[in-house]
Amino acid sequence: MDDQSQRGIISTAEGESKDWINELPDCILSSILSLLTIKDAAVTSIVSRQWRNLWKTRPPNLELDIVNIFGSVYAPLIEPYRSILSVTSCSLQFDRQCYIKRVNEVLELYSGNKLDSFKVAFFLIENLLKILINGFIQLETLSLNDVEVDPEFLARLFSACVLLERFTLNTCDVRSNLIIGPSLHLHDLKVLTCYRLGRIEIDAVNLYSLEYDGYNTEISFMRTPRLARCFFKGWSIGPVPHVLTQLPLYSELATLHLQIRNNFEHIPQTFPTLKNLKQVKLDLLMLDFELGSVLNILKAAPLLEELIITTRAPDYHGEMRNLSTFSHNHLRKIKMQGFQGMWFKIELAICLLKIATKLEVMVIDPLGSYYVGDGRWVKMTCCYQDGNEDENPEEYDDPGDENVDNVPYELLRWQNRGRAAVQERLKDVKTDAQVFIL
């Protein structure tokens, strides 16, 4: 074997044994460690002298939940309970003082000079937040999940963190009125399923997006002149009409998403014009409702271009006659989700086709998905039954269709019968729009 071949073998052997990961720049190593929980990243400090302080320089986004503080081994224990445990009902098996002690240790060791995002998620936290927030004047994103939040903390938050742009309260125990601002930088606000929440006041001149999910809460938008997107999820009688009467005050509002569950006051026939509204999403997820409310929104939004309706109601208690007494000249696209072929939904589709004189496309979907806040979506299933399309349905024999290629029975019946029944009802409607029945 010649010298060149031997050198090649030696080089190959050295390459196989060389520690290539330590050749990476510290900034890349720090980024890799940021994919681990804080607890697991800290363990890497024993790998070598070079790695001793790497985990302390992770990107400026801190998430201090139980898994990050106590380690990924606790993830399977926590996740099953996140959706059912209330803030005040349980602290699981974690000692509060131990948790606070570990959080303080992490913050003391943190070597960054800027913090963009700070997320705390623990079942019982009292004074910790007030201490922490004052130390991060450049904080841009704050998300609080399952946290007790008192008025003093809220009063100090926006004076201490003047650069805060995104603020989320998710399943928090607020125990008071929620006063947001004053703030010049806040542009994204989410208040979702918070407990013991009183009145909401918002003073944020650059607020662009608002998401709210709650019960009988009085909402005062106050100073939000640039509000362009609003998602509102109401559960019972009270806040929905109150919100609608205030929306016309926001001239830049372009997207409105209303999700209504249980009983609610019908959307009034007359209220001020929403002159710049371009897109409306209506999720009507109750047992029965009055479809005239949909048309009342159309009347109030003369420049509306897109309407998405998601329905789940099995029954209708209202007047269907004389609904199409006006025309809409800007509506271009309509989508109806969760369409079960119910007779009154077919009547609504016919009415919308007549009203929207410039309509380009209507999509009727037995499935679909709807938004529930904070970036989360819920997929819908088909609930079609034979005879849904008839106001007074007769008894239909069960054809005994078997599950085909894992297609659910209701969806199979829609494909075999429901779709054709809806097509038959819509075929005589005069419209230039394309109608797609999925």
Looking from the CA of 304 toward its CB, the CA atoms found within 13 Å total 28
- Whether residue 259 is contained in a domain is answered as yes
What is the rounded distance in angstroms from the CA atom of residue 204 to the CA atom of residue 435? 42
- Whether residue 269 is contained in a domain is answered as yes
Q: Are residues 46 and 68 in the same domain?
A: no
Q: Which of 355, 351, 352, 356 is nearest to 321 (CA)?
A: 351
- Whether residue 4 is contained in a domain is answered as no
The two three-digit tokens of residue 381, written as one number: 């299933």
- Domain end residue (candidates: 224, 254, 280): 224
Instruction: Give pLDDT, residue 63.
Output: 60
b/e per residue, 149-161, with b = 16+ CB within 10 A? beeebbeebbebb
Q: Please calculate the CA angle 193-249-178 and round it to the nearest 5 degrees.
A: 30
Quickly tell me which residue has 């409702």 as its tokens. Answer: 289
- Strands (DSSP E) found in 320-420: 333-337, 361-364, 369-373, 376-379
- Whether residue 2 is contained in a domain is answered as no
Q: Are residues 55 and 65 in the same domain?
A: no
Instruction: Give pLDDT, residue 318.
Output: 59
- C-alpha to C-alpha distances, 360 to 76, 335, 339, nearest whole angstrom: 49, 11, 20
Where would I find the H helices in 321-408?
343-355
Instruction: Give pLDDT, residue 90.
Output: 32
- Give the range of the structural domain holding residue 125, as residue numbers without chain letter: 60-224
- Domain end residue (candidates: 39, 59, 79): 59
Q: Are residues 265 and 399 in the same domain?
A: yes
- Whether residue 13 is contained in a domain is answered as no
- Whether residue 402 is contained in a domain is answered as yes
- Whether residue 176 is contained in a domain is answered as yes
Q: Are residues 71 and 178 in the same domain?
A: yes
Q: Are residues 336 and 382 in the same domain?
A: yes
Considering the entire predicted model, what is its pTM? Answer: 0.70
Looking from the CA of 141 toward its CB, the CA atoms found within 13 Å total 9
Q: Are residues 30 and 124 in the same domain?
A: no
Q: Are residues 66 and 97 in the same domain?
A: yes
What is the rounded distance in angstroms from the CA atom of residue 367 to the CA atom of residue 336? 9
Q: Are residues 26 and 173 in the same domain?
A: no
Quickly tell me which residue has 């609608």 as its tokens. Answer: 244
DSSP bridge partners of 229: 209, 255
Print pLDDT tens along the chain (438 aa).
555 555 554 445 555 556 666 677 777 777 776 676 666 777 776 666 667 666 666 555 556 655 555 555 555 554 554 443 333 333 334 455 666 676 666 666 665 555 556 665 554 445 555 555 656 677 888 888 877 787 777 878 888 888 899 999 998 888 788 888 889 999 999 999 887 787 888 999 999 999 998 876 677 777 899 999 999 887 655 555 566 777 878 889 999 998 877 655 566 667 778 889 999 998 888 766 667 778 888 888 999 999 999 987 666 655 655 566 788 999 999 999 988 877 888 888 998 999 999 999 999 998 888 898 888 898 888 777 765 666 555 555 555 555 556 677 778 888 888 888 888 888 889 999 999 999
Q: Which of 205, 155, 145 is nearest to 176 (CA)?
A: 155
Q: Are residues 323 and 427 in the same domain?
A: yes
CATH number at residue 66: 3.80.10
Q: Are residues 369 and 400 in the same domain?
A: yes
What is the rounded distance in angstroms from the CA atom of residue 409 to the CA atom of residue 330? 39
- Domain end residue (candidates: 172, 189, 224): 224
Helix/strand/coil for 321 = coil
Q: Give every CB contact of residue 114 below 8 A, 6+ residues apart in sequence.
A: 60, 138
Report the domain count for the chain. 3
Instruction: Give pLDDT, residue 415.
Output: 82
Q: Are residues 55 and 83 in the same domain?
A: no
Q: Give every CB contact of residue 319 below 8 A, 6+ residues apart in sequence.
A: 292
Could you please report the per-residue DSSP string of 59-94?
A: -SEEEEEHHHHH-GGGHHHHGGGTTT--TTT--TT-
How many residues make up the chain in this entry? Answer: 438
What is the rounded distance in angstroms from the CA atom of residue 216 to the CA atom of residue 230? 18
Q: Are residues 141 and 279 in the same domain?
A: no
- C-alpha to C-alpha distances, 114 to 36, 60, 137, nearest whole angstrom: 20, 6, 9
- Whether residue 1 is contained in a domain is answered as no
